[in-house]
Amino acid sequence: MRIGELAARTGVSERSLRYYEKQGLLVSDRTPGGHRDYAERAVDRVIRIQELYAAGLHSTKIAQILPCMRDADGGPNVRATPMLVAELKTERDRIDRLIADLIRSREVLDEVIDTAAGRTAEPMAAAAERA
């Protein structure tokens, strides 16, 4: 498929797709006319790249991770080194800390909303029982 179709199917700009290629994250063949031609599996690859970017990883780390991940058309590659596994665990811990911070922020915001609405904050246990 051409770059425009891949962009439309993944919601990723053509500019980003070119960047992914430049970073070694995505591969295309070339038509006799010099246009990029992507395999069907490129759709899954681009979606996976987007997920990794959304997790806060940078392109260098993504380039290390991608060969170790299971693609829709095959099994996982066993190129993951113990060092890469340790780095990925560190990234997961960072994400866990961000999630915990967001939960705390939401709880504070809920208290402010309750106060602003003229309600008193209900004990957490009572709220949990109703849920």
* Domain match, 65 and 100 both: no
| 73 shares a domain with 23 | yes
Q: What residue spans of the chain are helical by DSSP H?
A: 3-10, 14-22, 42-54, 59-65, 82-116, 124-130
Indicate if 19 and 66 belong to the same structural domain.
Answer: yes
- Secondary element (H or E) of residue 36: strand 36-37
* CA nearest neighbour of 57 among 12, 101, 18, 98: 98
Name the nearest CA neighbour of 76 among 84, 64, 68.
68
Each residue of 47-92: pLDDT tens digit? Answer: 989 988 998 888 888 888 887 776 554 555 566 677 777 888 898 8
66 lies in the same domain as 17: yes
For the whole model, what pTM was predicted?
A: 0.62
Mean residue pLDDT of the chain comes to 84
Reading the block at residue 96, the tokens are 């866990």
34 with 85, same domain: the answer is: no
Domain that holds residue 71: 1-77
